[in-house]
Amino acid sequence: MKKIFAICLLSLLFISSTALETEALTFDKLPAEQTTKQWSVKLDKAKLGGTGLVKSKEGNFHRYSLKVDNIGEDVLSAEIHLFRNQPNSKTKYALFGCPDQTDCNKNRFEQSVSLAEQLNEKIPYQFHSFLLAEEASELEVEIVWTQKGSEGTPLKERFIFTSK
């Protein structure tokens, strides 16, 4: 009777521990790169060193870098947004917000045009170091842009990096 009870208890503990396990967003092979006709997005480990770079906190966050290249036609404006998922939620959380409660829309168009000019000159947009919560299992990179000649029609592509 004690054997049966012990086996049942161990089985229950094993099943419950695997069901509660969350998979952290870590990649076996980095860099990971995704491309389309317009964009190339490369996710890699953050480069060590450098002053002012954020530090990862063991058990809470991992550090990554991201590089976005325009490999297609020239664009008039471009915006890049990064989101992560949260376990047991359909909501995605932005990795970057507006600093110090500033109005994000104040210079939005000018910033998107400036970014487009940079990308058109084949100078990539780089996040040298950003933190991603260990509990996240998905990183979504969203690029919204307008093509020259089609200024009134925004276009969007999503690049999703997962831990699987």
In the block, which residue shows the tokens 């990862």? 56
In the block, which residue shows the tokens 């086996």? 7
In the block, which residue shows the tokens 């995605």? 92
Domains identified in the chain, total number: 1
Domain coverage including residue 128:
23-162
Question: Is the distance from CB of 70 to CB of 38 less than 8 angstroms?
Answer: yes
CATH number of residue 110's parent domain: 2.60.40
Phi and psi angles of residue 135, each rounded to the nearest 5 degrees, phi first = -75, -15
Residue 16: per-residue pLDDT: 42
Residue 92: per-residue pLDDT: 92
Residue 151 covered by a domain: yes
The rounded distance, in Å, linking the Cα atoms of 57 and 24 is 14
The rounded distance, in Å, linking the Cα atoms of 117 and 129 is 23
The rounded distance, in Å, linking the Cα atoms of 10 and 15 is 9
Residue 6 covered by a domain: no
Residue 34 covered by a domain: yes
Residue 1 covered by a domain: no
The rounded distance, in Å, linking the Cα atoms of 44 and 139 is 12
pLDDT, one tens digit for every residue, the chain (164 residues)? 555 544 544 444 444 443 333 344 455 678 899 999 999 999 999 876 655 555 555 667 888 999 999 999 999 999 999 999 988 889 998 988 776 666 677 788 889 999 999 999 999 999 998 888 888 889 999 999 999 888 889 999 999 999 76
Question: Is the distance from CB of 6 to CB of 14 less than 8 angstroms?
Answer: no
The rounded distance, in Å, linking the Cα atoms of 117 and 134 is 34
Residue 4 covered by a domain: no
Residue 104: per-residue pLDDT: 72
Residue 99: per-residue pLDDT: 64
